[in-house]
Copies of this chain bind each other. A is one copy, B any other.
Amino acid sequence: MSKCESCIVKEFNSLKSLTRQELMRVSACKTGKIYKKGQVIFEEGETLNGVYCVRDGVCKLTKLSENGKNQVVKLVVKGGLLGKRSLVTEQKTNLSAVALNDMEMCFIPKSEIMADLVKNPKFTMDVLKKMANDLKDSDISLVNMAQKSVKRRMAEILIYIYDNFGTNADDYLNIVISREDYASIVGTATESAIRILSQFKKEGLISTKGKQIKIEDYGSLKWIE
């Protein structure tokens, strides 16, 4: 397993603000973990005793609603850090994490990283900034959810995935998820999600191959409605 000091993945998260010395210490105590598609990384209500650093793959962060449906709150890819909030607040996690494809992660015990959080102001400030940004994103999501139509939200998540996670060689979106997941991101019934994707297909905005989706008309999708 590669050492934290030389790991490029950390460039995308707060760990980059640690000193070389701190990184070596973290590296020594981290453990690598592999998760298969569909596997639960942690469950809402669990006590996390560390943070997870995503080296490869994608996972969804979900929250259970009172009506029993799971809502996807965020997608996390390479470089993402899971469990920041629980690290800071000492509370049980309020989200579940589930692998959307095969994943490779590093687990860093809380005890190790907490010391740095208190002692290294650069690291603390970086975590603080990341958290502030998450909060901003969350506000945006809230407004989208409250004010936009399901069709619009679906178009936006497709654009979001395209912009942030890119496409493979055949131009299909890199992130491949079920219609049920799309429904749970957008906050609608699975059938409604399917219907809207079918409609997009008929209108030539997207095309599909199995679960894979290709964006055919970015502009129209972006400015839909």
Contacts from A to B (Cβ < 8 Å): 63, 65-67, 69, 71, 73, 84-85, 88-89, 91, 94-95, 117-119, 121, 124-125, 127-129, 131-136, 138-148, 186-187
Contact = CB atoms under 8 A, between A and B. Distances in A.
Contacts of A89: 129, 132-133, 136
Given A67-B148, A121-B121, A147-B187, A139 B88 contact: no
10 shortest interchain CB distances as A-B pairs: A146-B187, A138-B138, A65-B147, A145-B145, A71-B143, A85-B132, A88-B132, A89-B132, A131-B131, A63-B143
Contacts of A125: 88, 117-118, 124
Given A124-B121, A124-B124, A127-B128, A142 B143 contact: no
26 contacts: A63-B140, A63-B142, A65-B146, A65-B148, A67-B147, A69-B147, A71-B143, A73-B139, A84-B132, A88-B125, A88-B128, A89-B133, A89-B136, A91-B136, A95-B139, A117-B125, A118-B121, A121-B121, A121-B124, A124-B124, A124-B128, A138-B142, A141-B142, A142-B145, A145-B146, A147-B187
Contacts of A133: 89
A142 B73 contact: yes
A66 B64 CA distance: 28
A65 B225 CA distance: 14
Contacts of A138: 135, 138-139, 142
A185 to B, nearest CB: 9
B63 A139 contact: yes
Contact of A135 (B118, B129, B131, B148): B131
A84 B129 CA distance: 11
Contacts of A95: 139
Given A94-B140, A134-B135, 12 more contacts: A65-B146, A65-B147, A66-B147, A67-B147, A67-B148, A73-B139, A89-B133, A117-B125, A138-B142, A145-B146, A145-B187, A146-B187
